[in-house]
Every structure is written in structure tokens, then in C-alpha cells.
């Protein structure tokens, strides 16, 4: 088309195109503070030109422009910066989780302080030293009992409080699993919507912004790998994480088969199977069997989501791994996946029950909040084990000197006992959680043995040897769950020495050992180093994340001054195109109405 009507159409195209640009600018300004919003830009291009025909077959003065159009509205996004931010979010989530719980454990230990466990250990042995000076008095004996009670109560308290820390970490794992599955479902829905819009040759910019915001949130929970597909679709998996135990070929999000994806389930209970004698049932290899309970998608609001797996054999190492992890892979319906990524069908039952041959694939990510909470559970188990070693070393060594024997079976008056022991007076399976003073001694402090058998009222020789246990070198670090008093004294303390000049046997000691107080201080120092490391990484990650997010904001963020400048520019362009239309209107009036005169 040529002539005035062609010019009119050019003005109209400019008017409409500038209006779309202004609409895009207005959308940017309106969403300047919207989280996850990416600045959008209307791409202008010339429309198809028109060639004026001529009698000799050649164009007159070449092609004639026909105006402008908006080819597409694109969002400004840097994929590399997105990758960097998500990598840093994973590390930040990992150490933020550790920092939260390690600081809580530090508060439980309350060291160094005048009321902490280290101080109570010193006061405990100090009370025995004072007793050796005035062994005939009940007052000094009462002080020993009270200091012993303070020590055992503090060990019990720390043991229980650290156990609560582990429960809190497990609660956060459960909540993270639930949230992660919800996010994955939302991403899957957005992914399908984006593909549908893109197939229609439109750009779903706002939908992609929402999807990217959810991907950022998901990456803070565990590491993810994102593969871009056609029509702006994506696949999301953990294939890049070699520690995630991702079943082969299964994605968290798929563009083609959106229902053929994996999800996470939370293991809520691992209960040992007990026989008629009350002892754990063992399999042919000697490993205990367990009934395991998990909830689909981590959703414990309904019993319909509960699934039970009966008679699963777990070695001690496998039990600890599952107990500290608590997350397993399932399909979208909540059925367990095996190591090949295949769905296992549950047998009939309400709730459904898997056969006893069921295998579970644990999810152990290398980063993210889940990694932080799982690693804290490992730390808690380690600190509980160290507390138990401390309790055993104190109980076994004091009982050995108090009873003058390394054999608990021949000890007629234990000082420290396991308060949960069915007999009420044994030291078997003593831990920091159940260590207590013999009730008979608490009821009658005169039962405390302070000297050699048959000694006089002022004989405090046995009390002084117990007091000196504080400085004895014992291999506390080598104590295990199966260590009893006999193996501890003979193998880890160098045995009992022959009676000294006062007729009292005492511990020999080993040069490769350590003092009980020093052992506990080493535990506290290691905790302090771990907490400082977590805090340092969190602080460094804050700076790194801030840097990357500022870089991403400089690319994708809305700068109001720039948008206002663009608005003024396209406003003038809109007005100029309006002027062209008005001018052509006047010219057409001259041509049409002027010919009548």
C-alpha cells in the first residue's frame, strides 16, 4: 500500500507499538518490588516492506517501509547468575541449618562456666578429697552425695537436652520434605503451563519468573540440576549430586512425562522387632530387624499417608544412616523406589504394608537445609556417644576403687548405678542418660567406703584414691557400647595396682590415655570449632549471596529511573505518531473535500 493511506497505516503501527512498549514499561514499574520479577522488554522490528510496481518490472526507488511492530516481549535474565545464586543458596542452607543447632548444643553444654559439667567434675572429685580429711563425719559424706547428684543430674540433663535437639532437627527434616514436595508440585504445574503457552508462540514471562523463584527456594533445601528443554520447559533432578542416591533415570520434574517423577518421604519411626523374651529379633546374619514407618510426601496430617515396612534387617551402620537421614525416595504416589528407580508395589492392608524384602533408597544431599539438619544429627549422635564414654569412665573408675574390684558382679556396694536397670542397682549399660547414685547410699551416706576394709573411723585412704582419679590417664576415647568395667579397667586403664602401703588398690593408668576433665574439654573445644566454622561460613555466604544477588538484580531488576526515562522517550514517540495520523487526516481532508470546491 502506498500513498496517504499507507502513511496512515505506518502512523497507526507506530501508535500501537509504542502503546505496547508503554504497557510493558508500566508492568515493570508496577512490579519493581515483586520478589522474583524479571524486567521485561518489548522488542521492536520493522514490518514487511512494500515494493511499488512499475511498468518496466523494476521497483521505483526500492522498497517502501510499512511501519513497526512488537516482535516479542522478552524478560531479561542471566542463566549463569541464576546457577551461581542457587549453588550459594545450597551452601547457605547447609551451614545455616548447622549453625542453628550447633549453637543450641553449645547452649546445652554451657561451657565454660562455673555451673557447667567441667566445673561439676572438679567439684565432685574435690568433695572426695575433702572427705578423705574428715571421713568420720556425715557432713563430708553428704557433700560427696550432693556433688555426685549434681554431676549425675547434669549428665542426665545434657543427655536429654541433646536428644531434644535431635528431635527438633528431625521435625525440621519432616517439614522440609513436606515443603519441598509442595514446591515440586507447583513447579510441575507451572512447567506444563509454560510449555502450553510457549507452544502457542507466546512468551510466558511471568510464569517463568514464578518458576525461577520456586527453583531458588528449592535449591536452598537441597542441590538440584536443571536441564532446559524445548518450549521453555525444564527437567529438574539431583543427578549432579553423587551423594543423593538418585534412582537412575528418575527426575523430580519432567517436561514430557510429568507424572513419572520421584518424590521424598519422611521416615517417622524405626522400631526394633522384639521377641517373646523382650530382646531384639535377629536375622541369619545376626543383624536386628525393624518395623519402619514412613509418611508419603512428609505429610503426617492423615493416617492415609502412613506406610509400614515390616521385618527389615539393618546392621548398626545402616540403622544409624537411616536414623540420621530420615528421607527416602518414592514415586509421585508415595510408593518406595528401589535402587533401579522402579516402583515397589505394597501388599494389601490398611495402612499399606510392604513385604519384608523391601529396600529403601535414602536421600543424602550434599548441600541445602536437608544436608545441614542431617549432619547435625550425626553430630548429636557423636556428642551423645562422647557423653556416654565420659559417664562410663567416671562410673567404672569410681566403682572400681570404691568396691576395690574390677568385676561389677563381685561389687557389694556400687556407688554409681544405672537407674533404668531392672534390678535398680546394677551398672550394666550405664550411660549419661541413666547414670545415678546408688539409692542405698543416698538413703544412708555412712555406706560410703572411705578407707580400707576394717580401717578406723579416720581412715580416708580410699577417698583420697578416688579423688586422685581426676588426674589418672585413662583411654576414655576407646570406650564402646560393649565396654564393661572389667574391660575398661584392664584394657583401657592398665588394670588395678597391687594394694599400696595403705592396703588400697588404685588404677595404674596408661600414657596413651587422658584425664576425664581434659577429655570433656576436648569435646567442648571440638564443638566450639564446629560452631565457629558454621558461623563463619554463614557470614561468608551472606556476603557472597549478596554479591551474586546484586549482580542478578543489576541485570534482571527494575531500575525506576531507567524505566521513567524510557517512559518519557516512548511517550514522545507515541505523541509524534499521533501527530502523523492527525497530519494525514488533514491531507486526506484536502484531497477529498477540497476537490468539491
User: Contact 527/102 with Cβ under 8 angstroms?
Assistant: yes
φ, ψ for residue 348 (rounded to 5)? -65, 155
Above 60 in pLDDT, residue 454? no
> What is the predicted pLDDT for the residue at 591?
84
Reduced to 3 DSSP states, what percent helix, strand and coil does the chain have, rounded to the nearest 5? 55, 15, 35
Above 80 in pLDDT, residue 596? no
Task: Return mean pLDDT, the chain.
Answer: 90
DSSP string, 174-202: HHHHHHHHHHHHHHHHHHHHHHHHHHTT-
Above 70 in pLDDT, residue 348? no
In this prediction the pTM is 0.89
Question: Cell for 416?
Answer: 554409681
Question: Cell for 300?
Answer: 503426617
Instruction: List residues bridging with 362 in a β-sheet.
Output: 328
State pLDDT tens for residues 489-534: 999 999 998 888 778 889 999 999 999 999 999 999 999 999 999 9
Above 70 in pLDDT, residue 444? yes
> What is the predicted pLDDT for the residue at 367?
93
Q: Could you say which DSSP state residue 477 is in?
A: G
State pLDDT tens for residues 308-337: 998 889 999 999 999 999 999 999 998 998
Q: Tell me what the mean pLDDT of segment 253-274 comes to.
A: 93
Write out the H or E segment, with its range, that includes residue 226: strand 225-228
Question: Cell for 74?
Answer: 522478552
Q: Could you say which DSSP state residue 300 is in?
A: -
The rounded distance, in Å, linking the Cα atoms of 219 and 326 is 19
> What is the predicted pLDDT for the residue at 480?
92
> Between β-strands 40-46 and 353-354, what pairing exists: parallel, antiparallel or unpaired?
unpaired
Residue 493: helix, strand or coil by DSSP? coil
Q: Tell me what the mean pLDDT of segment 223-239 comes to.
A: 92
State pLDDT tens for residues 63-100: 788 899 999 999 999 999 999 999 999 999 999 999 99
Q: Where are the domains of the chain?
A: 3-76+560-594, 245-363
**Chain Cα centroid distance, residue 192:** 29
The rounded distance, in Å, linking the Cα atoms of 44 and 17 is 8
**Higher-pLDDT residue of 60, 222:** 222
State pLDDT tens for residues 567-594: 999 999 999 999 999 999 888 888 888 7
> Between β-strands 225-228 and 234-237, what pairing exists: parallel, antiparallel or unpaired?
antiparallel
How sure is the predictor about 2, in pLDDT bands with cuts at 50, 70 and 90?
A: low
Q: Could you say which DSSP state residue 314 is in?
A: -
Residues 6+ apart with CB under 8 A from 100: 372
Number of Cβ atoms within 10 Å of the Cβ of 497 = 13
> What is the predicted pLDDT for the residue at 192?
95
The rounded distance, in Å, linking the Cα atoms of 157 and 167 is 15
Q: Could you say which DSSP state residue 337 is in?
A: B
User: SS3 string of 543-576?
Assistant: HHHHHHHHHHHHHHCCCHHHHHHHHHHHHHHHHH
Q: Could you say which DSSP state residue 297 is in?
A: G
Residue 397: helix, strand or coil by DSSP? helix
Question: Cell for 116?
Answer: 557447667
Q: Tell me what the mean pLDDT of segment 96-110 comes to.
A: 93
Question: Cell for 509?
Answer: 593408668
> What is the predicted pLDDT for the residue at 61?
60
Least confident of 12-16, 109-113, 193-197: 109-113
Q: Could you say which DSSP state residue 469 is in?
A: G
> What is the predicted pLDDT for the residue at 455?
61
Amino acid at each position: 500500500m502506498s500513498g496517504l493511506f499507507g502513511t496512515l497505516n505506518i502512523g497507526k503501527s507506530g501508535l500501537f507499538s509504542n502503546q505496547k512498549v508503554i504497557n510493558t514499561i508500566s508492568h515493570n514499574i508496577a512490579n519493581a518490588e515483586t520478589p522474583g520479577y524479571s524486567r521485561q522488554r518489548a522488542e521492536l522490528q520493522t514490518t514487511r516492506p512494500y515494493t511499488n510496481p512499475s511498468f518496466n518490472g523494476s521497483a521505483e526507488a526500492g522498497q517502501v517501509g510499512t511501519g513497526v511492530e512488537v516482535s516479542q516481549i522478552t524478560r531479561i535474565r542471566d542463566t549463569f547468575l541464576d546457577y551461581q545464586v542457587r549453588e550459594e543458596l545450597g551452601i547457605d542452607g547447609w551451614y545455616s541449618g548447622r549453625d542453628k543447632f550447633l549453637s543450641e548444643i553449645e547452649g546445652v553444654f554451657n561451657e565454660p562456666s562455673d555451673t557447667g559439667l567441667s566445673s561439676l567434675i572438679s567439684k565432685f572429685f574435690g568433695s572426695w578429697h575433702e572427705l578423705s580429711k574428715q571421713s568420720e563425719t556425715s557432713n563430708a559424706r553428704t557433700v560427696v552425695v550432693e556433688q555426685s547428684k549434681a554431676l549425675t543430674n547434669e549428665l542426665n540433663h545434657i543427655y536429654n537436652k541433646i536428644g531434644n535437639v535431635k528431635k527438633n532437627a528431625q521435625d525440621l527434616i519432616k517439614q522440609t520434605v513436606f515443603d519441598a514436595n509442595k514446591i515440586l508440585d507447583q513447579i510441575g504445574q507451572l512447567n506444563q503451563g509454560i510449555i502450553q503457552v510457549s507452544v502457542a508462540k507466546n512468551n510466558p514471562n511471568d510464569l517463568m519468573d514464578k518458576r525461577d523463584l520456586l527453583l531458588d527456594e528449592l535449591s536452598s533445601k537441597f542441590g538440584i540440576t536443571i536441564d532446559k528443554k524445548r518450549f521453555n520447559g525444564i527437567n529438574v533432578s539431583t543427578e549432579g549430586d553423587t551423594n543423593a542416591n538418585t534412582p537412575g533415570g528418575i527426575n523430580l520434574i519432567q517436561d514430557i512425562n510429568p507424572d513419572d517423577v520421584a518424590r521424598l518421604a519422611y521416615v517417622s519411626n524405626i522400631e526394633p522387632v522384639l521377641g517373646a523374651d523382650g530382646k531384639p529379633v535377629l536375622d541369619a546374619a545376626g543383624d536386628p530387624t525393624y518395623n519402619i514407618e514412613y509418611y508419603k510426601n512428609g505429610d503426617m496430617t492423615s493416617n492415609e499417608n502412613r506406610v509400614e515396612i515390616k521385618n527389615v534387617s539393618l546392621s548398626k551402620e545402616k540403622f544409624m544412616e537411616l536414623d540420621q537421614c530420615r528421607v527416602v525416595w518414592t514415586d509421585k504416589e508415595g510408593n518406595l523406589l528401589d535402587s533401579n528407580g522402579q516402583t515397589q508395589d505394597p501388599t494389601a492392608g490398611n495402612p499399606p504394608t510392604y513385604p519384608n524384602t523391601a529396600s529403601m533408597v535414602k536421600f543424602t544431599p550434599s548441600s541445602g537445609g536437608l544436608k545441614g539438619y542431617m549432619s547435625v544429627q550425626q553430630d548429636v549422635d557423636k556428642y551423645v556417644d562422647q557423653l556416654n564414654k565420659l559417664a562410663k569412665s567416671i562410673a567404672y573408675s569410681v566403682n572400681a576403687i570404691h568396691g576395690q574390684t574390677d568385676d561389677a558382679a563381685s561389687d557389694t556396694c556400687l556407688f554409681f548405678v544405672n537407674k533404668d536397670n531392672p534390678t535398680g542397682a546394677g551398672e550394666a549399660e550405664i550411660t549419661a542418660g541413666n547414670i545415678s547414685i546408688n539409692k542405698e547410699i543416698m538413703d544412708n551416706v555412712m555406706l560410703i567406703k572411705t578407707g580400707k576394709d576394717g580401717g578406723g573411723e579416720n581412715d580416708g585412704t580410699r577417698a583420697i584414691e578416688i579423688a586422685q582419679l581426676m588426674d589418672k590417664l585413662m583411654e576414655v576415647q576407646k570406650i564402646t557400647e560393649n565396654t564393661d568395667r572389667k574391660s575398661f579397667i584392664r584394657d583401657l586403664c592398665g588394670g588395678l595396682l597391687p594394694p599400696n602401703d595403705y592396703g588400697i588398690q588404685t588404677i595404674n593408668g596408661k600414657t596413651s590415655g587422658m584425664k576425664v576433665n581434659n577429655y570433656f574439654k576436648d569435646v567442648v573445644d571440638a564443638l566450639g570449632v564446629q560452631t565457629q566454622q558454621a558461623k563463619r561460613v554463614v557470614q561468608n555466604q551472606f556476603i557472597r549471596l549478596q554479591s551474586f544477588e546484586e549482580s542478578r538484580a543489576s541485570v534482571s531488576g527494575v531500575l525506576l529511573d531507567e524505566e521513567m526515562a524510557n517512559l518519557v522517550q516512548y511517550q514522545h514517540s507515541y505523541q509524534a505518531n499521533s501527530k502523523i495520523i492527525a497530519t494525514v487526516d488533514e491531507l486526506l481532508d484536502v484531497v477529498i473535500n477540497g476537490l468539491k470546491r
